[in-house]
Amino acid sequence: MPELPEVETVRMGLLPAMEGAVIARAEVNRPDLRWPLPERMAERLTGARVARLRRRSKYILADLSSGETLLMHLGMSGRILISGDPLGQFLHDHPAPEKHDHVVFHMDNGTRVTFNDPRRFGAMALMPTEGAEAHPLLAALGPEPLGNHFHEAHLVAALKGRGMPVKSALLDQKIVAGLGNIYVCEALFRGGIHPARKAGRIGKARVAALVPLIRTTLEEAIRAGGSSLKDYRRADGELGYFQHSFDVYGREGLPCRREGCDGTVRRIVQSGRSSFYCPACQR
């Protein structure tokens, strides 16, 4: 599933095509994705201007001139692709419609924005913009890892006394929003922390040091356009390439990349997810 860097990369790709533009016509080709689509969705979106395009955790939020906010989640296989940009920022003309083009936004600037999702694990919702943060999908989310509310004191307090593995704690969206399996593995490697170590038994200094490491890992991934694994594509249809910089994720059996370490990357399964780490330098 796309994580924060992939979703942020898609959001940034959509900015020149959607923000400030009017949805001249919304096309909704099925009644549901992961759950039913909003009632009269096409009618409610058509004619609305996208005042602001933002991200919260792994959700893209489009604040509309109609007073509603469109929430979009990519799910496991969802892609949002742009075609026909009149400014020439995207390479693709309008392609022929595909079977899994479930929602299409025809923008007044000539751009077409298509939500394609073969497995239909993605989602869309409409909510009043005022009070949107209180929506059930957003209300319980923790601070954004790239925002001011995610800081050393917060993470130290959030992990204090926790008996769960630190990997599981960092995946808890109530503790920090948007982190996923890939980037938690990478950040823990950079911090030299074993993913199975109990969160509450890690010293304050080591926990505090994780905050800038998490931020740096995410920022580097965003600059690289995210990580292309399986179905992920950027909004312009191109692949991200941060996967080429992984230190541990997906590198089971390969040598540790840390200078001076002669360890070999291992994989364990935690709560049904693979965790990759170096046993020699992660304790």
Do 97 and 219 reside in the same domain of the chain? no
The CA distance from 271 to 260, in Å, is 32
Do 124 and 161 reside in the same domain of the chain? no
162 noted as active-site residue: no
Do 178 and 118 reside in the same domain of the chain? no
The CA distance from 96 to 98, in Å, is 6
Q: Are strands 273-277 and 266-270 parallel, antiparallel or unpaired?
A: antiparallel
* 100-110 residue pLDDT tens: 999 999 999 99
Q: Given 11, 58, 167, 233, which residue is catalytic?
A: 58
Do 69 and 157 reside in the same domain of the chain? no
Is 139 within the bounds of a domain? no
Q: What percent of the chain has pLDDT over 90?
A: 77
Do 104 and 18 reside in the same domain of the chain? yes
Number of domains forming the structure of the chain: 2
Do 15 and 101 reside in the same domain of the chain? yes
The CA distance from 76 to 222, in Å, is 19
The CA distance from 231 to 132, in Å, is 29
The CA distance from 164 to 177, in Å, is 18
The CA distance from 54 to 44, in Å, is 20
Give the residue from 134, 167, 195 where a domain finishes.
Answer: 134
152 noted as active-site residue: no
pTM: 0.90
- Arithmetic mean of pLDDT, 115-133: 95
2 noted as active-site residue: yes
Closest listed residue to residue 174, CA positions, set 54, 57, 3: 57
CATH number of the domain that residue 26 is part of: 3.20.190.10
Q: Given 34, 204, 267, 273, which residue is catalytic?
A: 273
Q: Which pair of structure tokens corresponds to residue 152?
A: 């050393």
pLDDT at 6: 87
pLDDT at 205: 97
pLDDT at 95: 76
Mean pLDDT of the chain: 90
Do 159 and 129 reside in the same domain of the chain? no
Is 85 within the bounds of a domain? yes
Is 278 within the bounds of a domain? no
Range of the domain at 232: 152-246
Do 53 and 129 reside in the same domain of the chain? yes
Is 158 within the bounds of a domain? yes
Do 71 and 168 reside in the same domain of the chain? no
* 182-220 residue pLDDT tens: 999 999 999 999 999 999 999 999 999 999 999 999 998
Number of H helices, E strands in the chain: 6, 10
8 noted as active-site residue: no
Do 112 and 232 reside in the same domain of the chain? no
The CA distance from 61 to 198, in Å, is 35
Angle 181-191/204-223 helices, nearest 10 degrees? 130
pLDDT at 244: 55
